[in-house]
Amino acid sequence: MLGLKYKNRDKIFEEKEVNGVPYLAYPVFESLGIVNHGFSTRLGGVSKGNYATMNLSTTRGDDPEAIAENTRRIAAAIGVRTEDMVYTHQTHTTNVAAAREKDRGKRFMDTDGMVTDVPGMCLVTFYADCVPLYFVDPVRKAIGLSHSGWQGTVHKIGKITVEKMTETYGSDPKDIIAAIGPSICQDCYEVSEDVIDQFRESFRKEILPELFYRKDNGKYQLNLWRANEEVLKEAGVKKERIAVTNVCTHCNPDILFSHRTMGNKRGNLSAFLALKR
């Protein structure tokens, strides 16, 4: 339908479209029946030029009225209310905020993850190659959403988000259903040795060959999907409850915003997650 290129044939995503606004959803979350969620694309919005068309970030220089209209459209498609949204101001930290009733409309500064148990409250985070991490605890009825670039991955924001859900809502990691969202794939993600050194320190030696390989030019190809899966398993989430993306932002530059494709002249995609009211 969207013409997305998938890395394999696994049925990780469902491509949905409501009122001409496409988005990606996870069948594993849909089947739970307790959350509204989605991941936006570049399509179905009103932004122009480099932001075309569905830019959802207010920090990239786009027209505020266009962003507001885009936000209304995607909210209506996913089934959430714009006034129930809470946002991160992401700076590659491992800070995870617990959003409470009074936080509707708030932007948490220097924060890269959020958790909540408030019905209706919609967590919103921003992306253009970095990795979205979704968490749903159907037992305690709590959710989490985190932004995990290479720095968040090295410092294991996924694990910190699970710990925050345990601390705040009593979540048992074994109950959590998690998803690793559309982001840059290993084939597209070249990094230098200083980045790899940090992964060598942070992850157990046995799995390093699955995380990266060295090339003739002295650079490395890094697998953020596999690394985040490992982070979630370390946190106690069961492997069979982790849905790993097979959609790469950089492989699909006409449909998804990619920093590695467009540099800073681009909009942002968003991840959305809310407990149903």
**Nearest approach, Cβ of residue 248 and Zn ion (Å):** 3
CA dihedral 46, 62, 67, 149 (to 10 degrees): 110
**Nearest approach, Cβ of residue 258 and Zn ion (Å):** 9
**Nearest approach, Cβ of residue 251 and Zn ion (Å):** 3
Nearer to Zn ion, 71 or 223 (CB): 223
Which residues, including other chains, have CB under 8 Å from residue 18's CB and lie 6 or more apart?
Answer: 76, 77, 78
Nearer to Zn ion, 122 or 251 (CB): 251
Nearer to Zn ion, 2 or 74 (CB): 2
Q: Quick check: helix, strand or coil at residue 87?
A: strand
Nearer to Zn ion, 183 or 270 (CB): 183
Single-letter residue type at 220: Y
Nearer to Zn ion, 7 or 104 (CB): 7
The residue of the chain with the least Cβ separation from Zn ion equals: 248
Q: Give me the residues that bind Zn ion (CB under 5 A), please.
A: 185, 188, 248, 250-251
Q: Classify residue 55 as exposed, middle or buried by CB count within 10 Å of its CB (0-12, 13-18, 19+).
A: buried
How far is residue 74's CA from residue 59's CA, in Å, rounded to a whole number?
18
Length of the chain: 277
Long-range contacts of 257-263 (CB under 8 A, 24+ apart): 257/42, 257/55, 257/127, 257/128, 258/128, 258/129, 258/184, 259/128, 259/129, 259/130, 260/129, 260/184, 260/188, 260/189, 262/50, 262/128
**Nearest approach, Cβ of residue 188 and Zn ion (Å):** 3
**Nearest approach, Cβ of residue 274 and Zn ion (Å):** 29
CA distances from 38 to 48, 80, 211 (A): 23, 10, 27
Nearer to Zn ion, 29 or 150 (CB): 150
**Nearest approach, Cβ of residue 70 and Zn ion (Å):** 25
**Nearest approach, Cβ of residue 8 and Zn ion (Å):** 12
Nearer to Zn ion, 110 or 213 (CB): 213
